[in-house]
């Protein structure tokens, strides 16, 4: 998910207007990066707990 975000951001940054990642205040690109990292971590956590139950 994080790699997919990076590819989309790279294409958008190359084609469109260059926009830096701002974390204070958080802009849309940084917010989606945080979301992608959270989804990656939660998926890894869910896979790990599913293996322990069986």
Distance CA 37, CA 3 (A): 10
Q: What are phi and psi of 26, to 5 degrees?
A: -75, 125
Report the percentage of the chain scoring pLDDT > 90: 19
Residue 50 — very low, low, confident or very high, per pLDDT cuts 50/70/90? low
Domain around 44: 2-53
Q: What is the pLDDT of residue 17?
A: 83
Question: Is residue 32 within 8 Å of residue 41, measured between CB atoms?
Answer: no
pLDDT of 54 > 60? The answer is no
Tokens 């990076």, residue located: 6
User: pLDDT: is 49 or 38 the higher one?
Assistant: 38
pLDDT single digits (tens) 22-45? 888 889 989 999 999 999 989 877
Structural domains in the chain (count): 1
């Amino acid at each position: 998910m994080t790699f997919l975000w990076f590819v989309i951001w790279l294409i958008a940054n190359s084609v469109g207007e260059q926009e830096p990642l701002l974390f204070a205040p958080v802009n849309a690109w940084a917010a989606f990066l945080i979301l992608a990292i959270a989804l990656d971590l939660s998926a890894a956590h869910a896979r790990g707990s599913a293996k322990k139950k069986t």
